[in-house]
Structure 1
Amino acid sequence: MTTRPPSPRYRVVERGRRLEVIDTRDGEPVRPRAPGGLPISSRNPGGAFARLLSRGERTPDGRYVLRTRGEFDARGPRGIALAEGGARLLALVLGGVAILAAAVLAAFAWLGFGGLVVTGVAIGMAMQHGRPAFTRVLDRLGETI
């Protein structure tokens, strides 16, 4: 057992009424870490789903960016920096769209050629009424950049 104190690698200083931990090896502040070991700014509540939709594009503060198109977004094309719950809301909406698409395909399979008419009407209604609704949902996902 040693009687020497540990080396003072870290020191705590007060800056602007906040405490910061400084690494004495490089003189830089130590960044807090998330439970997964990544810096907090690298975490994103959207996880893999947001990363997939944004194609890995991020803002300088680490949030994922979703790029929209004019066919689905009345204010598009634009970029949206996803907020805390934005990716979860988007996942719910896209899950509902997938269920609707499955219902349209089932109608097409069940009705045959008549299902083609039903599919055309459903797509027309979705584009007419769904686009403004989807734009409102996109407005709630985060801030436009």
Structure 2
Amino acid sequence: MAGCVFCAIVVGSASAFLVADEPSGVAFLDTRPVFRGHVLVIPREHFATLGDLPGPDLAGYFGLVQRISAAVEAGLGSGGTFVAINNRVSQSVPHLHTHVVPRTKGDGLRGFFWPRHRYADDAEAADYATRIAASLTGP
């Protein structure tokens, strides 16, 4: 869709620190991460909300989300992940995206107040993307 930054990432006309690029979706680092290693997973085709994603696409999309969640834990040594979707309200880009946020006990994340932690530079972001991608399993 014209003007959608996530669609631009899918076709390669906008840059992102890619973690996965598969038929069921694309995963990349959030540019304003809650914690370093915060990944966004999007379907390749433009759908504004979860309700717009066709039923037959659910298994592939959420299979990728599940694998990214496991890869974030394994690749970063986090204690777990927080997985969330906003539909319209608080949805900064109107293209379906699922947040996969690394968590550790005592990390300070409470409720839905999400402080943001930027990467020091592109090299640090690339390192996080590489570590998560290296832990990704399956197709």
Q: TM-score, normalised by structure 2?
A: 0.23
Q: Point out which structure has higher relative CO (alpha carbons under 8 A, 6+ apart).
A: 2
Greater C-alpha radius of gyration: 1
TM-score, with length taken from structure 1: 0.22
